[in-house]
């Protein structure tokens, strides 16, 4: 039997891949391309945003494991940092903070690789990878060559990019960001982070304090990956916060629910709050072995006896409860490498 996707995803679900390649050496990419023999592979980073099917993936899977961070001064204020795709995002954040570079300090605690971060424009606490990304080097499977896509070419949106809307077309090999020399973090925009750091909204705390505050706040709110316990098998939030019309935004606000504007100014309601209004809550059982996390409704966790099909069914139960009661459609966040 081939390598199990369950061994490489944080949900620990998923059957075998037809064939398995680990890309560790930047100079050896063409060997990886040759080894897939013209088939379109599924590319895996840290597996923290994947719902892999029980029957596995009917093709080659490439795990991106190249490491390395390089830096070049642009001028006195700015530094260009180029990161290999397999480098954990957490290591980039730690590097930037240690070097006194601002631009990614609020992304700490997001699991996974730097190469995957542009795919869904990973973000948190008002910061997203698109804010500082200047280019990616990517392999274009359609034309069989390495290309450079600048930020505009990546078509970043809220939790989306061209890599998400055209899945499988490109594999990101490196990510280049322009970070700013600063002892201070970007302004705090989230109320609970301001509270945790004991600063007003808009304050710019010292870089290391801001980064540590985010990780502590994420831990307190069940937003990090536990290493043991009932919530250890998960893929983070399972739904995107849905965009709402101005009328729906008013209704949600009137009922006491949070509505905020994303980086494009689009009003979005909190998917977790909507689910709670429909009777879902932390710890709720959705299917055999599939539960809302003990800390938050929007994270669905897996225990013994769960299957990917059961997980997908659990998500359908949640989404249809919200659709029935509010008419709002919830869209799943984890990517499905094959139909579940
Ligand atoms: C506890 C927890 C908290 C989380 N919090 C957040 C959060 O705050 N904000 C947020 O945005 N996300 C969050 N996530 C989701 C996830 O961590 C991010 O989406 C992360 O960027 C995924 O990285 P990964 O390496 O694990 O990607 P994977 O899960 O391996 O892959 C995700 C997608 O990216 C593609 N991909 C991976 N590598 C590449 C590459 N090199 N080139 C092209 N495509 C590639 C895959 O094919 C797949 O489509 C959280 C997840 C967990 C478990």
pLDDT averaged over every residue in the chain: 95
Q: Is 326 in the pocket of ligand 1 (CB under 6 A)?
A: no
- Residue 334, pLDDT above cutoff 90: no
CATH of the domain at 241: 3.90.78.10
User: 54 with 105, same domain?
Assistant: no
Q: In this structure, are 112 and 11 located in the same domain?
A: no
Range of the domain at 136: 69-219
Q: Looking at the structure, do residues 74 and 192 belong to the same domain, yes or no?
A: yes
Q: Is the pLDDT of residue 339 over 70?
A: no
Between 116 and 335, where is the model more confident?
A: 116
Whether residue 187 sits in one domain with residue 84: yes
**Range 305-324 average pLDDT:** 96
Q: Are residues 289 and 316 in the same domain?
A: yes
Query: Residue 17 is part of a domain; what is its CATH number?
Result: 3.30.43.10
Domain shared by 188 and 239, yes or no: no
237 is catalytic: yes
In a domain, 305, yes or no: yes
Instruction: Report how far residue 82's alpha carbon sits from residue 104's, in angstroms, rounded to the nearest whole number.
Output: 13
pLDDT per residue as tens digits for the range 50-67 = 999 999 999 999 999 999
Banded model confidence at residue 164, pLDDT cuts 50, 70, 90: very high
Q: Are residues 74 and 214 in the same domain?
A: yes
Q: Is 240 near ligand 1, meaning CB less than 6 Å away? A: no
192 pLDDT band, cuts 50/70/90, is: confident
| Substitution candidate for ligand 1 out of 23, 149, 211, 236 with most atoms within 8 A of CB | 236
Residue 141: inside a domain, yes or no? Answer: yes
Residue where one domain finishes, among candidates 160, 191, 219:
219
What pLDDT score was predicted for residue 336? 81
Choosing from 66, 119, 162 the residue with most ligand 1 atoms within 8 A of its CB, the one to mutate for a pocket test is: 119
For ligand 1, atom 45, which residue shows the shortest CA distance? Answer: 116
Q: Do 114 and 211 reside in the same domain of the chain? A: yes
- 120 and 30: one domain? no
Residue nearest to atom 51 of ligand 1 (CA): 236
Q: How confident is the model over 193-204, as a mean pLDDT?
A: 94
Does residue 224 sit within a domain? no
Residue 338 lies in a domain: no
Residues 60 and 168 in one domain: no
pLDDT of 340 above 60: no
Q: How far apart are CA 136 and CA 118, in angstroms?
A: 9
Residue 178: CATH number of its domain: 3.30.465.10
For ligand 1, say whether the CB of 236 is within 6 Å of any of its atoms. yes
Position 331 in a domain: no
Number of domains in the chain: 3
The pLDDT tens digits for 13-43 are 999 999 999 999 999 999 999 999 999 999 9
Query: 287 and 164, same structural domain?
Result: no
């Amino acid at each position: 039997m081939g390598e199990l996707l369950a061994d490489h995803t944080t949900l620990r679900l998923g059957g075998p891949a037809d064939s398995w390649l680990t890309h560790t050496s930047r100079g050896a990419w063409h060997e990886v391309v040759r080894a897939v023999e013209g088939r379109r592979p599924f590319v895996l980073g840290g597996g923290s945003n994947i719902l892999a099917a029980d029957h596995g993936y009917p093709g080659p899977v490439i795990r991106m494991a190249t490491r390395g961070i390089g830096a070049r001064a642009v001028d006195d204020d700015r530094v260009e940092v180029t990161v290999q795709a397999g480098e954990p995002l957490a290591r980039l954040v730690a590097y930037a903070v240690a070097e006194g570079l601002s631009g990614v300090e609020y992304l700490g605690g997001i699991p996974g690789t730097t190469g995957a971060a542009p795919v869904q424009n990973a973000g948190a606490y008002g910061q997203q990878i698109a804010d500082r990304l200047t280019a990616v080097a990517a392999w274009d499977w359609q034309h069989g060559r390495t290309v450079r896509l600048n930020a505009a070419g990546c078509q970043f949106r809220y939790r989306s990019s061209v890599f998400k809307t055209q899945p499988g077309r490109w594999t990101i090999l490196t990510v280049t960001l322009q970070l700013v020399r600063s002892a201070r973090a970007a302004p705090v925009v989230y109320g609970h982070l301001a509270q945790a750091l004991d600063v007003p909204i808009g304050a710019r705390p010292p870089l290391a304090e801001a980064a540590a505050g985010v990780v502590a706040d994420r831990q307190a709110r069940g937003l990090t990956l536990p290493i043991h316990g009932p919530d250890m098998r998960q893929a983070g939030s399972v739904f995107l916060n849905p965009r709402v019309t101005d009328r729906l935004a008013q209704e949600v606000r009137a009922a006491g629910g949070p509505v905020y504007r994303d980086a494009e100014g689009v009003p979005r309601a909190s998917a977790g709050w909507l689910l709670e209004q429909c009777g879902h809550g932390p710890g709720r059982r959705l299917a055999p072995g599939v539960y809302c996390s003990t800390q938050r409704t929007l994270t669905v966790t897996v225990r013994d006896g769960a299957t990917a099909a059961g997980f997908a069914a659990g998500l359908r139960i949640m989404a249809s409860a919200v659709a029935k009661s509010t008419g709002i459609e919830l869209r799943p966040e984890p990517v499905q490498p094959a139909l579940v």
